Amino acid sequence: MTSHSYYLGIDLGATTVKAGVVSALKSQILNLKSQKATVTAETADQKGTVVLQRIIDCARQAVVQAGLALSDITAMGIASPGPIDIKAGIICDSPNIQGWRDIPLAKLLSEALGPPAILENDANAAALGEYHLGAGQSVAVMAMFTLGSGIGGGVVIDGEILHGAHGFAAELGHIILVPAGRKCGCGQRGCAEAYASANSTAARAVEALRQGRESSLSQLFRAGRQLTAKDVVDHARQGDALAAEILDGTAYYLALLSLNVRAVVDPQLIVLGGGLAQAGDILLSAVRKHFKEQGWHLQGADRCRMELAVLGNQAGMIGAALAAAKALGR
Amino acid sequence: MTSHSYYLGIDLGATTVKAGVVSALKSQILNLKSQKATVTAETADQKGTVVLQRIIDCARQAVVQAGLALSDITAMGIASPGPIDIKAGIICDSPNIQGWRDIPLAKLLSEALGPPAILENDANAAALGEYHLGAGQSVAVMAMFTLGSGIGGGVVIDGEILHGAHGFAAELGHIILVPAGRKCGCGQRGCAEAYASANSTAARAVEALRQGRESSLSQLFRAGRQLTAKDVVDHARQGDALAAEILDGTAYYLALLSLNVRAVVDPQLIVLGGGLAQAGDILLSAVRKHFKEQGWHLQGADRCRMELAVLGNQAGMIGAALAAAKALGR
């Protein structure tokens, strides 16, 4: 018997929804059935009812594009930003979608489409995706940072997402790196997210420019353009000293964050993902350098690697399908 | 069938070795068979061969005092400070015992006494002890800090010690709280251990006195007495402002440490153990206050309790026996 099972993954992002089908043989993940056929739809600034319908349409299309019917799908997983109640499958409050509060999304989608569904934190899902089909395929313990507007975190131990007692584990972006430091959106001070996310990297650049620092970024800034982390990366690459300093600061804080995550979960691999990780080697090599410089040289110091994510923006969708396979697979 | 299994726990401390027998019915831990009859022997400043013989003697005596024979013991667990190789059962390098380097202690004890043996990090063992027979009996996920000369850490998830990929997980004292901060014995800067251990609490008091701060501690200090964390606690209790400030600093850093551990493992309970935790409520209430003030008020903020350890200096011994029961129990 080599009959496959199929799992539908749905990634509910800030502005789009993506859906795709993952094929599995028993617990072994074989491939992404519709890798070339991922279905995407806009969800930005839409009402909750519209978004729900778009998710349903996306899911149906992904199944069709994979050459399957909904009855072929064993289970579905939805990756969503927090705050969510993973166990109950409920979106507690959506920062992006109007009127979504205490929405039992897993139940609604299961009723609309048929297969049973689970909900998972988007960064947890991305980590699970990288663990099984991306950068982490040969490791037992892996941590991942998703560097975007914030910093999402995920930890996978022996193939299982670390959920903690209430589903709030691996909020790695909210590890406090600087006592009484920069204010974070979460209300704490000094969180990693307040220093090393894409948004905070851009914000630190803007602050330096406001202080009158010279930089090739000044022109963009004076022209009223909203600076992005990509601007900082681009100008650092072109040799701008301030941009390089800001990016190096991001790398320094990511290294401290990595050391703290290593102290708790002792991973073999830490993966940098999300938009800012597209900076590539200029970021990765700097994080590695600071990680080595700031870390202890005792046992195990050299047993934690650091790599870039490889699944890009499909990690969450793939991981959601895998999470469904783990929770509801047969 | 209600036949019991018996597990021998051995705690190899910096200056003494302790042994005791724990009774278990299947996986359920029933009691500490020889709680009143724990056997202790000095190990300070002894050669490795002498220490090994004392451990063996201690273990034999504990079994006799429990009214048992060595043949009644299903397995043995040894709790030891690091650096150790948990999987291999090897003491890599002992800071306390002369000539102990790459000592296969689990194998040596098993050969000398009969039952199979495992080695466990002392702070991990203490956490497992508190989880099953101490402060953590009703929780699924628990973290513990052992506040002594350093800060040991242990995390227990669904009854299992979090070991990580190489056995170095839960080195919670080496979470970096202050970038480029105080130098830690591990070589890093700004570790929690460099601020909030018993030794670091005393060191911070001494530094303040050297800076000329007024305090009732000054007399002890001028008399050439080596200040301890207990002095700081005692004088804080008696109303000394500097001692209170130093102790509050310890509580502040323990709160930041707790928030960082919460961000990674989402425990229901954080337990404060070790010598400094004997300060009791004056420390616990201050840590709780800072934890609440510094932490986010988002979901789950109120779901992590903080309590004092209850097993005192027997936690490691008990936990070692439980770790043996888990690894080698029948």
Average pLDDT over residues B273-298: 96
A15 confidence band (pLDDT: 50, 70, 90): confident
Distance from CA of A298 to the nearest CA of B (A): 7
Q: For residues A287-311, give the mean pLDDT.
A: 91
Q: What pLDDT, on a 0 to 100 scale, did the predictor assign at position B25?
A: 62
CA angle A155, A271, A319 (to 5 degrees): 55
Which residues in chain B have their CB less than 8 angstroms from residue A158's CB? none
Which residues from B are below 8 Å from A172, CB to CB?
263-264
What is the rounded average pLDDT of the residues A224-247? 97
> Model confidence at B82, in pLDDT bands (50, 70, 90)?
confident
Q: Does B141 touch chain A (CB under 8 A)?
A: yes
Strand residue runs (E) in chain A: 5-12, 16-25, 28-32, 39-42, 73-80, 84-85, 90-93, 101-103, 117-121, 141-147, 151-157, 160-161, 269-273, 305-308
- With a pLDDT cut of 90, the percent of chain B lying above it is 77
- Suggest the residue from A94, A102, A145, A176 to mutate for an interface test with chain B (most B CBs closer than 10 A): A176
Cα A153 to Cα A124: distance, rounded to the nearest angstrom: 6
Residues of A in contact with B261 (CB under 8 A): 264
- Chain A residues in contact with B164 by the CB 8 A cut-off are 141, 265-267
Residue B36: predicted pLDDT: 46
Instruction: Select from A101, A55, A60 the least CA-distant residue to A78.
Output: A55
What pLDDT digit, counting tens, does each position of B251-275 carry? 999 999 999 999 999 999 999 999 9
Separation CA A77–CA A7 (nearest Å): 8
Start-to-end C-alpha separation, chain B: 14
All residues at 6 or more sequence positions from B97 whose CB lies less than 8 Å from its CB, including other chains? B43, B46, B47, B48, B51
- Distance (Å) from the C-alpha of residue B265 to the closest C-alpha of chain A? 5
Residues of chain A with Cβ-Cβ distance to B168 below 8 Å are 266, 299-300
Per-residue pLDDT at A73 exceeds 70:
yes
Residue-level pLDDT at B1: 42
Rounded Cα gap, residues B254 and B264, in angstroms: 15
ipTM of the complex: 0.94
What does the pLDDT average to over B283-306? 91
Mean pLDDT of B26-48: 63
Q: Is B302 on the interface with A (CB under 8 A)?
A: no
Mean pLDDT over all residues of chain B?
Answer: 91
Helix (H) or strand (E) holding A201: helix A198-210
Total Cβ atoms within 10 A of residue B9? 33
Using the beta-carbon criterion (under 8 Å), do A300 and B166 form an inter-chain contact? yes
Interface test with A, best of B160, B254, B260 (most A CBs within 10 A): B260
Interface check for B88 against chain A (CB to CB < 8 A): the answer is no
- Which of B83, B165, B266 faces A168 most closely, judged by CB atoms? B266
pLDDT-based confidence at B184, cuts 50/70/90? Answer: very high
Which residues of A are less than 8 Å from B185 in CB distance?
A: none
Structure pTM?
0.95
- Distance, CA of B69 to CA of B82 (rounded, Å): 30
pLDDT at residue A213, as a whole number: 96
For residue B95, the 8-state DSSP code is S
> In this predicted structure, what is the pLDDT of residue A6?
92
Task: State residue A228's pLDDT score.
Answer: 97
- Alpha-carbon distance of A255 to A278, in angstroms, equals 17
Average pLDDT, chain A: 91
DSSP for B180-194, please give it.
T-SB-TTS-BSBTHH
Given a cut of 90, whether residue A65 has pLDDT beyond it is no
CB A11 within 8 A of CB A316: yes
The answer to whether A66 touches A37, Cβ cutoff 8 Å, is yes
**How far is residue A240's CA from residue A166's CA, in Å, rounded to a whole number?**
45
Number of Cβ within 10 Å of residue B48's Cβ equals 17
What is the pLDDT confidence band of residue A93, given thresholds at 50, 70 and 90?
A: confident
The confidence band for A1, taking pLDDT boundaries of 50, 70 and 90, is: very low
pLDDT confidence of residue B7: 93
Angle at B56 between CA B53 and CA B62, to 5 degrees: 140
In contact, A216 and A238? CB cutoff 8 Å: yes
pLDDT reading at A56 higher than 90: yes
**Short-list B162, B149, B6, B7, CA closest to B81:** B149
Question: Contacts from A247-250 at CB under 8 Å and sequence distance 24+?
Answer: A247/A201, A247/A279, A247/A282, A247/A283, A247/A286, A248/A286, A249/A195, A249/A201, A249/A204, A250/A195, A250/A196, A250/A200, A250/A201, A250/A204, A250/A276, A250/A283
The confidence score (pLDDT) of residue B3 equals 65
Pairing of strands B305-308, B269-273: parallel
pLDDT at site A264: 98
Q: Using CB atoms, which residue from A157, A166, A172 is nearest to B263?
A: A172
CA atoms within 13 A on the CB side of B289: 11
* Mean local confidence (pLDDT), A127-136: 95
Rounded Cα distance between B99 and A286, Å, is 40
A84 residue type, one letter: I
> Does A178 contact B174 at a Cβ distance shorter than 8 Å?
no
